Amino acid sequence: MEDDPDAYRVLRLRAEILELGSAIRQLQRAGLDDAAAQLLIARKRAMLEHLVKTTNPACDGVAPVTASVPLNTPDIRRG
């Protein structure tokens, strides 16, 4: 991973998404507004998806296999 900065960025984004998910749950439990955190987590997920799709040179415009594998990042939404 030391030689692959993209792999590091993927791991970092996943960790940030997990932290944001935890923060959102805490805000929801406290009855506080979590809209800003929801927006940020959506942006981070989009960044992660884009990074995964663009770092696979064999995909030729098709979503790579790794993009179809669950990223193990909880989707925290009201509903």
What pLDDT score does 41 carry? 95
pLDDT of residue 71: 53
Residue 40: predicted pLDDT: 95
What pTM did the predictor assign? Answer: 0.66
**Does residue 77 belong to any structural domain of this protein?**
no
> How many domains does one find in the chain?
1
Report the distance separating Cα 26 and Cα 20, nearest Å.
10
73 occurs within a structural domain? no
In a domain, 20, yes or no: yes
Which pair of tokens denotes residue 70?
């669950």
Assigned domain for 59 exists: yes
Q: Domain span at residue 39?
A: 5-68
Mean pLDDT by groups of 10 residues along the chain of 79 residues: 81 95 96 95 95 75 47 58
The answer to whether residues 14 and 71 touch, using CB atoms and an 8 Å cutoff, is yes
76 in any annotated domain: no
Check residue 66 and give its pLDDT.
Answer: 46
Q: Is 74 a domain residue? A: no
Q: Output the pLDDT for position 78.
A: 60
